[in-house]
Structure 1
Amino acid sequence: MFDITTSGELLAEFMAEARDQRFDAAGRFHGPFPSGAPAIFASQAARMGVRVAYAGRVGDDGFGDLIVARLRDDGIDVGAVQRDPERPTGTAFVSYQADGSRRFIFNLAHSAAGQQTLDDTQLARLAACRYCHVMGSSLSSPAAIAIVRRLVARVRENGGQISFDPNVRPELVERPGVREALLALVAGCDIFLPSDADLEWLAAPGEGMDASVARLMAEHRMSLLVLKRAAAGCVAYRDGERLEVPGLHVEEVDPTGAGDCFGGALIAALAAGRDLRQALRLANAAGAHAVTVLGPMEGCSDLATLKRRLDAAGDDQ
């Protein structure tokens, strides 16, 4: 049995060297970096020593080799990572703006990532897990949504828990079926990991943050909601308890993947039997460490690194 399974996009990412670099003019890019929100999550979780399995699809090319090697080197089971002989590995180009925002060009729908399948044998193997983690970015097409729904349903049948990071992206929400799939997972997950922006998207008109949390937890099955607040840390809600854990102060180099590392560390810590406060501290440390390194998966960290981060911050973890 796996501790954690996840499924979704795998891609090679290229990062613009200069701020405000345009896509319609020549410029320098760093990369390729192995990437994909669920892959960053999986890498962080696996580096903390838990058993992680991944389902996805890459091309039979150098970018695919790069990604599969990274997943395997991090200890992730790649038995359900397919190689597509006809389509290339998905790619993403990202440019950072002076105001802190990012601009992207993705090639996913027409790449190997957009052709992922999951047969019954792979489904049964992946569903034998304690936690199944879903990223909202993986709900990018009707086919991808169908894979996630099948996996979630089977994990639920087996008694596993569902964790969900909605990662709401405006460019995805208006695609057919995406909004409905997001809301269905909010309603059906056990552990919900929204950001401030995600919670605002879900809020009723005029509803404050705490009121939104109370309503979501009252209306749905989730037993734990953890609000990710970037450098400010996080706030967890469980059984009527509100637990706030401050973030760590670090020098930011690249924010890409910080929230995914936060989630990977949190679920890995819970899978390892740590109490909630300990898990939240480790998650904060993982998110903080991630922003100090250039590259989406380059900032994933092991338990020893996270403990050094916490010790340096004066945390008693």
Structure 2
Amino acid sequence: MFDITTSGELLAEFMAEVRDQRFDTTGRFHGPFASGAPAIFASQAARMGARVAYAGRVGDDGFGDLIVARLRDDGIDVGAVQRDLERPTGTAFVSYQADGSRRFIFNLAHSAAGQQTLDEDQLERLAACRYCHVMGSSLSSPAAIAIVRRLVARVRDNGGQISFDPNVRDELIERPGVREALLELVAGCDIFLPSDADLEWLAAAGEDAERTAQRLLSEQRMSLLVLKRAAAGCRAYTASEVIEVPGLSVEEVDPTGAGDCFGGALIAALAAGCELHQALRLANAAGAHAVTVLGPMEGCSDLATLEQRLAAVGETQ
């Protein structure tokens, strides 16, 4: 049995060397880096010792080789990572702006990532897990949504739990069926990992983040809601308590993947039997460490690294 399974986009990412790089002029880009939100999550969880399995699709090309090798080297089971002989591996080009925002050009829908399938044997194998993690970015098409729904349903039938990071993006929710799938997973997950922006999207008229979180926890299936607050840390809500854990002060190099590392560390820690407060500390440390390194998966860290970061700021182990 796996501790964690996840499914979704796998891509090669290229990052602009200078701020405000335009995509319609010549510039320098670093890369390729192995990437994809669920892949970053999986890498972080596996590096902490969790038994992780991944389902996705890459091209039969050098970028695909890079990604599969990275997943395998991190200890992730890649038995359900398919190779597409006709379409290239998905790509993303990222430009950081002076105001801290990012601009992207993605090639996913027409790449190998957009052609992922999941047969019955793969489904049964992946569903033998304790946690199934879903990223909102993986709900990019009707076919991708169908894969997630099948996997979630089978995991639920097997007694596993569902964790969900919605990562709501305007360009994503405009696609057919995505809004409905996001809301379906909010209603059906056991562990919900929103950002402030995600809670704002889910808020009723006049609600602040606190009231939205409390309402979701009382009305939906979830037993744990963890609000990711970037440098400010996190706030966890259960039926009986609210836990506030401050963030760690670090020098930011690249924020890409910080939230995914937070989620990977949290679910890996829970799978390892950590009590919630300690799991939240480790998740904060993982998110903080991630931003100190250039590259979406380059900031994934092992347990020893996270414990050292916590010790450095006086956290008890």
Same fold (TM over 0.5): yes
The C-alpha deviation readout for 1:230-271, integer Å capped at 9, x for no partner, is 000000001230000000000000000000000000000000
Structure-to-structure mapping, 1:57-206, within 5 angstroms: 57-206=57-206
Query: Secondary structure of the residue that 1:30 maps to in structure 2?
Result: strand
Residue 217 of structure 2 contacts residue 239 of structure 2 at CA under 8 Å; is this kept in 1? no
- Which residues in structure 2 correspond to 1:1-317 (within 5 Å)? 1-317=1-317
Q: What secondary structure sits across from 2:262 in the alignment?
A: helix
Alpha carbons 2:161, 2:189 under 8 Å: kept: yes
- Inter-partner Cα distance in structure 1 for 2:90 and 2:290: 23
Structure 1 residues without counterparts, runs of 5 or longer = none
TM-score (norm 1): 1.00
Deviation at 1:47, TM superposition (A): 0.1
CA distance in 2, matches of 1:153, 1:65: 31
Any idea what SS the aligned residue of 2:49 has? coil
- For these two proteins, the number of residue pairs brought into alignment is 317
Alpha-carbon separation, structure 2, partners of 1:186 and 1:259:
17
Secondary structure (helix, strand or coil) at the match of 1:38 reads: helix
**One-letter code of the match for 2:306?**
L
2:139·2:178 contact (CA, 8 Å) conserved in 1? Answer: yes
Name the SS for the 1:298 alignment partner: coil
CA distance in structure 1 between the aligned counterparts of 2:209 and 2:32, rounded to whole angstroms: 38
Identity rate of aligned residues, in percent? 87
- CA distances 1:174-197 after superposition (whole Å, capped 9, x unpaired): 100000000000000000000000
Distance 2:66 2:75 in 1: 15
- SS of 1:218's equivalent in the other structure is helix
Q: Kindly state the Cα deviation for residue 217 of structure 1 after the two structures are TM-superposed.
A: 1.1
2 CA distance for matches of 1:229 and 1:252? 15
Deviations 1:114-152 (A, max 9, x none): 000000000000000000000000000000000000000
Query: Which piece of structure 1 moves more, 237-246 or 27-36?
Result: 237-246
The SS at the match of 1:104 is: strand
- For 2:84 and 2:130, locate their aligned partners in 1 and report how far apart those are by CA, in whole Å: 29
Q: Give the distance between the partners of 1:249 and 1:227, measured in 2 at CA.
A: 18
In structure 2, how many angstroms separate the alpha carbons of the residues matched to 1:209 and 1:195? 10
User: Which deviates the most, 6-15 or 238-247?
Assistant: 238-247
Q: After superposition, give the CA deviation of every residue in 1:75-132 in whole Å (9 maximum; x if it has no partner).
A: 0000000000000000000000000000000000000000000000000000000000
| Letter of the 2:38 counterpart | P
CA RMSD of aligned residues (A): 0.4
Q: Could you tell me how far apart the structure 1 residues matched to 2:285 and 2:219 are?
A: 31
Q: Given that residues 46 and 76 in structure 2 are in contact (C-alpha distance below 8 angstroms), is that contact kept between their aligned partners in structure 1?
A: yes
* Equivalent position amino acid for 2:303 in 1: L
- Alpha-carbon distance in 1 for matches of 2:198, 2:140: 17
Cα distance in 2 for partners of 1:132, 1:183 equals: 17
Could you tell me which amino acid in structure 2 is paired with residue 40 of structure 1?
I
Distance 2:235 2:217 in 1: 14
Structure 1 residue 43: Cα displacement: 0.1
Find the aligned partners of 2:157 and 2:59 in 1 and give their Cα distance: 32
Unmatched segments (≥5 aa) in structure 2: none
Normalising by the residue count of structure 2, what TM-score does the alignment of the two structures yield? 1.00
Detail structure 1 runs of 4+ shifted over 2 Å in the superposition. none
What is the alpha-carbon distance in structure 2 between the residues aligned to residue 208 and residue 27 of structure 1? 42
